[in-house]
Chain A
Amino acid sequence: MKQGKQSWFFQRGVYINETATVTGPKEYEGPLASTFDYAYSKLHCDGDTWEQAEQNLLRKATTICLDKAGLREDALDLMISGDLLNQNVTSNYVARDISTSFLGVFGACSTSMETLAMASALINSQDSHYVLAAASSHYATAERQFRYPTEYGGQKPDTATSTVTGSGVALLSSQPSHIQVEAATIGQVIDYGTNDPLDMGSAMAPAAANTIVQHFQDFNRQPSDYDLILTGDLSSVGTPIVKKLTYQSGYDIEGIHNDSGLMVYHHDQQIFAGGSGCAASAIVTYGHVIQQLKQGTLRQVLIVATGALLNPIMMQQKETIPCIAHAVVLKRGDA
């Protein structure tokens, strides 16, 4: 059901029945290690190429999620998945082994919540019973596509982020569980004219602020209605900017805001300004946040996945970076 200008309210009841998170070795050395279902010990994730490595992350997360839910693959109605690579290759190549309808989406690092929001809408509208929402990213595949070869010795500035290696998958249905997807706010593409691909926190902060403010307006809510407002990968640069921007619009999120990219790693893990990529918000949400919701430590959270819709060719053509953010409300279900 449409709510306000850009939001959907899932009045029929949409639930996350199960989630799975799979990561690489560096993420497993971070503070959230215990919330991940599986971690590969090598960055190659048992693949011969980096692309295969990322596919293995997504494949593993999908398998674990379905196993945990005790659901057979053919009982699925739909899989919605996306990643950072050209033509969504990770999702497409994993989906060719899964015998269910498939929608590939691209929203850069906002993909995690884009897939979750779409899946929820399709369940709320009763067009699907069981939907898998997934996202993945891999440090090396992202480096080679968006930046330089992994072993290239160029110096990165402190504003740069480090792509999270991982995949997060959620299984949704209308069957009540501990985690309810209550609502979603679909973002607009926002471009404040930044053009530094090594400072995506600054680029994405306005998009995040725009979606957060729109969400509060659409639902007539306040930041205090949430225990946590979690952005995707704004990094230590974008985090103070998004707080400032929302404060300017009359919403003070200081104190309840956190950023997934800042939660995945310890400070001494050499990740510059923080973690980024689709997996940043996916593994933190589907691991840590879901766990906290189940335990009751958190009761209602707003997840705002942020995406820099970056393309290296457009950057070379002196274009700026358009950004987007999608927000999803997760709350403790009554079940």
Chain B
Amino acid sequence: MITKENYKDAIKPYQPKPKYVRNAIKAFVIGGLICVIGQGLTVLYMHWFDFTAKEAGNPTITTLILIAAILTGFGVYDKLGQFAGAGSAVPVTGFANSITSAALEHRSEGIVLGVATNMFKLAGSVIVFGTVAAYIVGIIRYTVQTVLGS
């Protein structure tokens, strides 16, 4: 008997269950592939431009962001995202997609109030918590270093 009180539990048999294992494998493979592409880019930058591994980091990330932004513009990245889930959301390409998609979506409201205002609508929280986390980790590191170092 389905009632208002037991509704959320009683309807569980009718709701398709998330395919955790399949999703995790897809995320692992696609996320891994994106990282492999990133590694390939790093090697190329080191090979062609004589960058050190550390110096090649920034152009690699920039190139990945560019590729993700272009794929978003061509309407490919959302399909990739539906397939790969966290695999395409967690790497820097997912961050680029969240910014580009919001910017594209709001260009109908103009450059300033549309694109610029809404660009970080989705990515804003990532930036906020990224910055906060960096501060906290920094403080911990400084404290531990000071205590242990003395």
Contacts and interface: CB of A to CB of B under 8 A. Distances in A.
Interface in A219-248: 237, 240-241, 244-245, 248
B42 interface: no
Contacts of B94: 153
Contacts of A159: 15-16
Contacts of B4: 192-193, 206
A151 B72 contact: yes
B18 interface: yes
Interface in B1-40: 1-2, 4, 7-8, 11, 14-16, 18, 23
B15 A194 contact: no
A152 B15 contact: no
A144 B104 CA distance: 11
A310 B10 CA distance: 22
Contacts of A49: 108
B10 to A, nearest CB: 9
A148 B101 contact: yes
A156 B18 CA distance: 10
A202 B108 contact: no
B133 interface: no
A152 B101 contact: yes
A199 interface: yes
Interface in A144-167: 144, 148-159
Interface residues of B, number: 36
Nearest to A50: B108
Interface string A194-221: 1000010010011000000000000000
Contacts of A334: none
Interface in A228-282: 237, 240-241, 244-245, 248, 273
Interface stretch (B51-59, B76-84, B124-132, B139-147): B76-84
Given A156-B82, A159-B15, A241 B2 contact: yes
Given A241-B11, A241-B14, A155 B81 contact: yes
A1 B83 CA distance: 53
A51 B98 CA distance: 22
A192 B80 CA distance: 35
Interface in B77-116: 77-82, 84-86, 88-89, 94, 97-98, 100-102, 104-106, 108
Contacts of A144: 105
A153 B97 contact: yes
B82 A152 contact: no
Contacts of B72: 151, 153
B2 to A, nearest CB: 6
Contacts of B89: 153-155
A199 B11 CA distance: 12
A202 B101 contact: no
A74 interface: no
B42 to A, nearest CB: 23
Contact of A151 (B85, B86, B104, B108): B104
B2 A155 contact: no
A153 B88 contact: yes
A150 to B, nearest CB: 6
Contacts of B134: none
Nearest to B118: A149
A125 to B, nearest CB: 35
B44 to A, nearest CB: 25
Given A158-B16, A240-B14, A241-B14, A193 B78 contact: no
Contacts of B104: 149, 151
A48 interface: yes
Contacts of B88: 153
B147 to A, nearest CB: 41
Contacts of A193: 4, 7-8
Contact of B18 (A157, A194, A248): A157
A28 B7 CA distance: 36
- Chain B CB within 10 Å — which of A50, A51, A149, A205 has the most? A149
The 5 closest A-B pairs by CB, nearest first: A153-B81, A149-B105, A151-B101, A149-B101, A155-B85
Interface of A: 48-51, 144, 148-159, 192-194, 199, 202, 205-206, 237, 240-241, 244-245, 248, 273
25 contacts: A50-B108, A144-B105, A148-B122, A150-B101, A151-B73, A151-B100, A151-B104, A151-B105, A152-B101, A152-B122, A153-B72, A153-B79, A153-B88, A154-B89, A155-B82, A155-B84, A155-B89, A158-B16, A192-B8, A194-B7, A205-B11, A237-B14, A237-B15, A237-B16, A241-B11
